[in-house]
Structure 1
Amino acid sequence: MRRASRMYTLRIVAVVAFAVLLIAGYGWGTAKYRGSFYPATSAYGVGFGSVDVQQVHPLAQEALSVYSLHVSGEGLDLTIPGSDISLAFASDDIGRDVLDAQGTLLWPVSALLPHDASEFFGVVYDREALLGILREAVASGNEAVQQAADPDIAFDEARGQWVYEPAEASAVIDADALAAACEGAISSYQPELVVPAECVAQSGPPADAEKKRQAAQRANELCAAYDVSFTLGDSASFRVGAAQAAQWITFGEDYEASIDQGKVDEWLDTLRGLLSGASTRTYVRPDGKVCTVEGGDYLWRAQDADGAVEAVRAALEGDASDTSIPCSVVGNGFLGIPGADWGPRYVDVDMTEQHARFYDDGGDLVWESDIITGVWGTQYETPTGVYTVTEKLSPAQLRSVGTLEYIDENGNLQVEEDHLFGRDVDYWMPFIGTFIGLHDAWWQTEFGGELYKDGYFGSGGCVNLPTEKAAELYGMLEPGDVVVTHY
């Protein structure tokens, strides 16, 4: 009996002890989770269950300070830093808000479950600032799209005609709709947003499309009226066709196409100058660069320049289809106005670029090289002008004596009297008499750049070439070929 009583007492004690431990454990957990997060607490996929409550807001604030949204697509490429829209958290203490809401009554179960606290990381920002940024960017992008969809009337060199080719429709972005999409992305901290399809609208054809089409058609009709050939002396000819007439077309406010007689007169004045032996030409190189050259001994001279110009004017007005212009001095070709009173085959020596190019009979670039020309700013500077190759020699001895002036490494002017210029070369192609020309410069270690401004590297007036490049040019160039030297 006593034994049974003792066992009963022990059971009671055990139950009470277990209850005490259970209550103590529950109390411990309750106390713990009143001051810390459940282990599996996270926001937007980032866990912070082990982070001190007081550190949550500062850490989140630090992350928010570097947030930006990149918006792309439909021609838009825009980055919006959070600072530009005054981005901030709606709460002053995110950690405390999460803690207050998590509850502790069922902590034994809650501690084992995941908890998404994303709702407590809500943000506020200046919506007007966001809308302003988007409207400005979208307006610029839409303008570019609309300009591309509504191009200017332009002359197509390849087709030889004026064209206007608008898009049937173009995609434009609705800034207000995009702002709503951005708000969703910012609220969920997305770093990237591709412009959604619902933010894009299709615009119709340009309002003035039909007027511009008619203007292009009229311009082509005007240009088609010009198809006149001219013979210079007995060695060259040039033609005024649609491509030249296109330079005289002008369009009015309502897209009316007409011939600008002032441009025609300007063209005729340029022709008069070339037929009078003008020494200054402005021309367009095949690569598109506009060049001006002055000087040289190459020229055309009509027997009666004024009479020739009037004959050309009459031909353009429809009184003749082919016109012959007698010349007392002739060149070897005539590319046309403006400027290039030589043929497509020539050497272009660009002394600003320190680069030379050779174009063949078809006007194609077949050779090019870096060069070194005469010492800039001295008496040895390579003359500018239009010339012709006088001869070819291989090998050749080049000799001249003169005064060399140069700036030394200390910036002082040095003068060397009786300086011997010239060397023995393998490829000699003179174009100013027999004393200035293109040739190999085997003693030079490099070419191009601004070496021509240095007295140690600049030549005595010739165009220095790498040996292998000089050999290539020597095999192509012929006496009589035009050489144009210019800056």
Structure 2
Amino acid sequence: MEGKHASQNKQQKPHRSEAFPQLDKAETVAHATKPSMPSDFDLGSTGGSVNPVQMNGRGPHRFSAAPNAAYPGGKVPGGTAGSRKFADGRRRNPVAIAALVFVTLLLVVYVAGAVIFMGRFYPNTTLGNFDLSMKPFDQAVDELESAEKSYALSISGEGFSMNITAKEGGIQLDSDKVIAAAKGGMNPALWFVNMWDAHDATENLTASADSTALRNLLTEEIEEFNAGQTASEDAAIVYDAESHSYKIKPEVNGTQLDAEEVVQQAITAMLSMQDTLKLDDDVVIEPQVLSTDSRLIQGTEAANKLVACDVTLVAQLANTTEDITQINGDVISQWVTFDENYAPTFNEAVMSEWASALVASLNTVGSTRTYTRGDGKQVSVSGGDYGWAVDTSSLVSTIEDAVTNASQGEISVPCSQTGNGFTAPGMDWGAYCDVDLTEQYARYYDAKGNLLWESGIVSGKPGGEDATPTGTYYLKTHQSPSMLRGPKKEDGKYEWESEVQYWMPFVGNLVGLHDASWQPSSVFSNPDAYKTYGSHGCVNLPTDKAAEIYGIIQNGDPVIVHW
């Protein structure tokens, strides 16, 4: 049978040994030296034919061969009679098949995920206090609208607490717009990357608010709260009267709240629909300038140099001085101002005002004086030529020099006219002679108010040019004896002449105190005698009393004539 089969094969198809003798030779060698067949061979049902695919440089060729003597029956281990993987002889690859299945599954999952996240949010997605994880967009809109209706902000902290509803705050929320903006940040095509991350869409949660209504509501509440709280104070440079120097007053850390800061935080919280707002110390009004500020330290040092002056202004009297006022730190501090950087400056305008006020109090010539006489009578009188006249410009210049040079000691007040002292408010004199026209009585007091002399008088005739002038005058001179004369007539003679022993003029050289020996002694005890026995304006005295006062009163002493 084998011979017949071989013969038939020869008739049907030339043996490849005839067409390719070189291959037969090679195959014979291969069979003889290799115990097993390559895995790419398929055996026929007869077990004797093979169809290897060979490459000889000219393309693939199929051929038949006799059974291999190395394998009994012509079977190769591992082979299956009649089985084929592919028509072209290639074997199936299980790895490739598995990979294809895996890729297909991934594609299905990817597409499914993309479809899902086209209509809902990623996991771990928040919108303010709202959890939108895996929620459909339309459900998120509904929940947001429901939350708006019941929304309220609870504010607390730093001792303050308050609840504000959405209506009170004028809160309005466009839920569709918010959710549209939130989902606009999603990319469903990249769901497989983004779904593992946390997503905060709070920036899209923007409501609108009636800021005016909210501000008014909060401001009113905070003002009421602040009324019972401690106000903060900046550190400052202050003058300490006890030490007569400038010091730094420490800052005060208060507990009052900054209404505008609370309003801004509340608006921000409500616009993002936060449930609570915790107030921290950043809403407390804090001092802006601290005691450690170098500007305060430097300013204090500079200011203390300005108040180092300590001088006493004195009125120069005949044989002594009278203290007028003291210029030290207590006074100078009123003239010191500080700029925005706490640098001290000497305010000349303020100092000049102070000096002018002092001058006004010292310039007493012709002023109205009210005082209490030694016997207790209240006296008020105006006019006259006695008093003090201060040179204002010289005084200002003197004070400026003293402050600049930190002078110490006494400085005389520059005056164009002086009195004889300052003894009490309203009394710019020391010893004085009081002439009471109502009582027709004269008294002389020393600077301490002791009565040294007194006498009845006769003054000038009332109601005319002979009336004794009222006012505060000063004694011009002493003269003894002296001839007193009236107006000169056309013939060269005087209307009247009277010789006196004690002449003490106080209104120029025309009106004065003097003895009047021609007057009856009784008139000096009669208060109404001047109406009949009145003088030409002088103050008539008994001769003995005139002699007494002549030896007591001093030139420059005030003579105060009043009713």
The TM-score range, normalised by the shorter chain, is 0.3 to 0.5
Q: Which structure ranks higher in relative contact order (CA pairs < 8 Å, sequence separation ≥ 6)?
A: 1
TM score, norm. by length of structure 2: 0.33
Structure with bigger strand share is 1
TM score, norm. by length of structure 1: 0.38
Larger radius of gyration: 2
